[in-house]
């Protein structure tokens, strides 16, 4: 179960690296417009905010990778919890699907950690 938990955590971390790339580098690009369903005008007006969001997603990914590399249970729990909270907040305030794409995988990772032998 520990291996499964670590695989889930790695997937969550990689997903957040992907969000970083999208928000920091492709927000104001046709790819970003399509993925985030934005017009070029909206993307241009919000590009700086998106870069900031992307950076925060990068910090979440970095924390999860740190927990994996250092085999630190406390770090894994902390950063998975941060992802869950951010995913719930984003789902309630921005787009409901964020609950399923961000919060749910992190929650599954947290449950897998709970049942793994540390």
Non-local CB neighbours of 86 within 8 Å, separated by 6+ positions: 56, 60, 102, 103
Note the pTM of the prediction, 2 decimals.
0.93
CB-CB contact of 26 with 50 (8 Å): no
Indicate if the pLDDT at residue 118 is higher than 90.
no
pLDDT at res. 102: 96
Non-local CB neighbours of 25 within 8 Å, separated by 6+ positions: 54
CB-CB contact of 99 with 88 (8 Å): yes
| Percentage of residues in the chain having pLDDT higher than 70 | 99
Q: Where do the structural domains in the chain lie, given as residue ranges?
A: 2-114
**Which pLDDT band holds residue 117 (cuts at 50, 70, 90)?**
confident
For the stretch 42-93, pLDDT in tens is 999 999 999 999 999 999 999 999 999 999 999 999 999 999 999 999 999 9
CA 21/CA 106 separation, integer angstroms: 19
CA 96/CA 63 separation, integer angstroms: 25
* Helix intervals (H) in 26-72: 30-35, 40-70
- Here the tokens at position 86 are 């951010």
Q: Token match 């919000």: residue?
A: 46
CA 24/CA 11 separation, integer angstroms: 20
3-state SS, residue 69: helix
């Amino acid at each position: 179960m520990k291996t499964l938990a670590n695989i889930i955590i790695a997937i969550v971390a990689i997903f957040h690296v992907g969000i970083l790339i999208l928000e920091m580098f492709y927000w104001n690009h046709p790819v970003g417009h399509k993925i985030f369903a934005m017009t070029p005008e909206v993307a241009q007006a919000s590009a700086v905010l998106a870069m900031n969001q992307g950076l925060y997603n990068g910090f979440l990914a970095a924390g999860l990778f740190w927990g994996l590399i250092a085999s630190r249970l406390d770090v894994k729990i902390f950063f998975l919890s941060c992802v869950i909270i951010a995913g719930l907040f984003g789902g309630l305030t921005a787009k409901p699907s964020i609950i399923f794409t961000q919060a749910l995988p992190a929650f599954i990772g947290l449950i897998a950690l709970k049942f793994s032998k540390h």
